[in-house]
Chain A
Amino acid sequence: MVNRTRNLYLVPYITWIALFVVAPIVLIVYYSFFDVEGQFTLGNYAKFFTPVYMRMTFSSFWYALLITLFSLLVAYPTAYLLTRLKHKQLWLLLIILPSWINLLLKAYAFLGLFGTYGFANAVLEMVGIGTQQILFTDFSFIFVSVYIFIPFMVLPIYNALEELNPSLVYASRDLGASSWTTFRRVIFPLTLDGVKAGCQAVFIPALSLFMITRLIAGNRVITLGTAIEQHFLVTQDWGMGATIAVFLIIAMAIIMIITGNRR
């Protein structure tokens, strides 16, 4: 009886996973074998290996890598500082707060901030540097993406730092290690899991960014996400869109395996 009840409780989860995880992936793979006219083909896969798509893949990975790297550079010290503060929970809440606001709204806000007559340029003008083009550059794209992803990087690192046993740090200091050595040899290795989780949470969504590429980068940065959106909405070439999605899924799976915990 107990067993049967337990199985019954599983039904909603299994249905959910079957309908919203397994079925869509199967459909994506299925669609990737059809061309625009609905004929069976392997041509989409051949097309993916042409220079256009290869360059797109490369630039997607490159930008995702940069975004992850800068997020980590900002997030690690932030998380470290957070654990030393008095009202940690409050500060943490303040850092997470922006992620409650819709992505699109934030992107539109940056359109205003970074514009030729926006706040950022007004400041630059005031300090005597003069108006620069900020919007529609690599800089603005990476800046805004990092801003959006920081909470996802801070949280896991913060948790890892919180779990760290402080007596290990004291022991290291007692034994004569400098602050830097303590960080390099004790703190960082022990929080590596948090860093990995954070990198996953940033790198994978960053690979398929698409709205920001248009709004903030003015389509000067083309990622695989942009191409998928185009194929599904404009060209209606669902096959090619699905093929790119298949490669993205494979790439993500590989990243999960590499950064996953092998215990």
Chain B
Amino acid sequence: MKQLIRTFAVIFLVAFALMYLTSYLNKSQGYSGGNTLTIYNWGDYIDPELIKTFEEESGTKVIYQTFDSNEAMMTKIAQGGTTFDVSVPSEYAISKMKEEDLLLPIDHSKLPNLKHIDDRFLDLSFDPGNRYSIPYFWGTVGIVFNPDLLDGWQLTSWNDLWDPRLRNQILLVDGAREVMGFGLNSLHYSLNDTNEDHLQEAKRKLGELTPNVKAIVGDEIKMLLAGEEAAVGVVWSGDASEIMDENDKLDYVVPEEGSNLWFDNMVIPKTARNLEGAYAFINFMLDPDHAAQNAEYVGYSTPNKDALALLPEDISGDTRFYPEDDVTAKLEVYDNLGKRMLSHYNELFLEFKMHKK
């Protein structure tokens, strides 16, 4: 008995000593208080050089943490106990976080560089007046295809996917909004449609696609397409640019029926400790030079019109990633359809997945 108590006492003592030691070490390295900034971003989604430049310019120590899904990020911020100063959620996550009161309003007067952002990307439905979020990158959903495996066939529309020549050749990304979205788009409905008849029609049409679908996968889709496991894939433009970096035979198209336009925006979560640093960082990233450098590194499309002008012609003139106005006009942002509708979309998607060949 005595021995047991002694063991516990020793464990507690050691634990406290370690706790004290870490806090002491953190302090001596300047990791606590006002001069650190914690950034919570997607993996590999910023040029590390820019973080160094920011640290040198501002004298702030940056702690960079990453997440791999909006849901995981939201859960972590909602749980608390974290000190994230800046995060980069996608648009539907922003409207959810706004509803759940997880974001701080942004004071535009502290962001003089906001003027460089293209007006097209401001004041959108998920965040009217950009009260909570500032654009970081944007992109589309489209089709990656390998003309070599398709006798040079260039796909142009969603309806091409139903062609019998593509039997067992399509990989789809495992996302209910994306798959239901192109199902609706292929019928020329809006991808935010909530009309039950239209949704059922889209589901039926997707059911007919089943013989052409090889698999519905997650992030592995990049590896599988680059490795020519299948000829066609439905992916986000960001993934497409990564795939094409690895295998230059592949090409990307934004289908003519229209598609999704998505955003990843910078926000300041409720957990922020270093507000001044957060504003400084957001403003730093909005600077055209920095935004251009970042866009070149990450490969996604920048919403910064002055940065776009600084990018080399082969990037800024690439209509696959910076589509012309007639294509852009057909792109739609996902509206927050509410939990019930989202749940219904998922239910339909699940039914689609269960279609047997």
A5, A56, A117, A230: the one within 8 Å of B346 (CB): A230
A222 touches B4 (CB 8 A): no
B347 touches A111 (CB 8 A): no
A180 to B339, CA, bound (A): 61
Q: List the B side residues contacting A236 at CB < 8 Å.
A: 71, 339, 342
| Residue in A closest to B216 when the chains form the complex, CB atoms | A219
A234 touches B71 (CB 8 A): yes
State whether the Cβ of B65 lies closer than 8 Å to any Cβ in chain A.
no
A8, A59, A215, A231: the one within 8 Å of B220 (CB): A215
| Residue in B closest to A38 when the chains form the complex, CB atoms | B339
State whether the Cβ of A152 lies closer than 8 Å to any Cβ in chain B.
no
Which chain A residues numbered 57 to 104 have a C-beta less than 8 Å away from chain B? 59
The interface size of chain A toward B, counting residues with CB under 8 Å, comes to 32
A220 to B214, CA, bound (A): 8
State whether the Cβ of A178 lies closer than 8 Å to any Cβ in chain B.
no
A115 touches B229 (CB 8 A): yes
State whether the Cβ of A227 lies closer than 8 Å to any Cβ in chain B.
yes
Q: List the B side residues contacting A235 at CB < 8 Å.
A: 176, 339, 342-343, 346
The interface size of chain B toward A, counting residues with CB under 8 Å, comes to 31
B228 touches A222 (CB 8 A): no
Q: List the B side residues contacting A227 at CB < 8 Å.
A: 350
A3 to B: closest C-beta gap in Å? 12
B215 touches A36 (CB 8 A): no
A108, A217, A237: the one within 8 Å of B343 (CB): A237
B339 touches A237 (CB 8 A): yes
B220 touches A36 (CB 8 A): no
A206 to B344, CA, bound (A): 28
A37 touches B346 (CB 8 A): no
B138 to A: closest C-beta gap in Å? 22
Q: List the B side residues contacting A167 at CB < 8 Å.
A: none
A117 touches B227 (CB 8 A): yes
Which chain A residues numbered 226 to 261 have a C-beta less than 8 Å away from chain B? 227, 230-231, 233-237, 240
State whether the Cβ of B246 lies closer than 8 Å to any Cβ in chain A.
no
Indicate with 1 or 0, residue by residue over A30-61, a CB within 8 angstroms of chain B CB atoms. 00000011000000000000001001100100
Q: List the A side residues contacting B217 at CB < 8 Å.
A: 214-215, 218-219
B176 touches A117 (CB 8 A): no
State whether the Cβ of B201 lies closer than 8 Å to any Cβ in chain A.
no
B97 to A: closest C-beta gap in Å? 13
Count A-B contacts at CB 8 Å.
80
B353 touches A37 (CB 8 A): no
Known A218-B216, A222-B353: A5·B1 in contact at CB below 8 Å: yes
Q: List the A side residues contacting B176 at CB < 8 Å.
A: 234-235
Q: List the A side residues contacting B43 at CB < 8 Å.
A: none
B223 to A: closest C-beta gap in Å? 8
Known A36-B343, A111-B220, A115-B229: A218·B215 in contact at CB below 8 Å: yes
Give the most central of A36, A231, A235, A240: most B CB within 10 Å. A235
State whether the Cβ of A135 lies closer than 8 Å to any Cβ in chain B.
yes
B350 touches A222 (CB 8 A): yes
State whether the Cβ of B164 lies closer than 8 Å to any Cβ in chain A.
no
Q: List the B side residues contacting A56 at CB < 8 Å.
A: 354
Q: List the B side residues contacting A233 at CB < 8 Å.
A: 69, 71-72
State whether the Cβ of B6 lies closer than 8 Å to any Cβ in chain A.
no
Known A37-B340, A219-B215: A133·B168 in contact at CB below 8 Å: yes
B229 touches A116 (CB 8 A): yes
A240 to B343, CA, bound (A): 10
State whether the Cβ of A136 lies closer than 8 Å to any Cβ in chain B.
yes
B232 to A: closest C-beta gap in Å? 14
| Residue in B closest to A114 when the chains form the complex, CB atoms | B229
Q: List the B side residues contacting A217 at CB < 8 Å.
A: 215
A124 to B: closest C-beta gap in Å? 16
Q: List the B side residues contacting A111 at CB < 8 Å.
A: 220, 223-224
Q: List the B side residues contacting A135 at CB < 8 Å.
A: 215, 229
Give the most central of B168, B342, B343: most A CB within 10 Å. B343
| Residue in B closest to A133 when the chains form the complex, CB atoms | B168
State whether the Cβ of B351 lies closer than 8 Å to any Cβ in chain A.
yes
- What are 8 A-B contacts defined by CB distance under 8 Å? A111-B224, A116-B229, A117-B227, A214-B217, A215-B220, A218-B214, A218-B216, A219-B174
Chain B residues close to A by CB (< 8 Å): 1, 4, 69, 71-72, 168, 171, 174, 176, 214-218, 220, 223-224, 227-229, 339-340, 342-343, 346-347, 350-351, 353-354, 357
Chain A residues close to B by CB (< 8 Å): 5, 8, 36-37, 52, 55-56, 59, 108, 111, 115-117, 133, 135-136, 214-215, 217-220, 222, 227, 230-231, 233-237, 240
Extra pairs beyond A214-B217, A235-B342, A237-B339 (10, CB < 8 Å): A8-B4, A52-B347, A52-B350, A115-B224, A133-B214, A219-B217, A219-B353, A222-B353, A233-B72, A235-B343
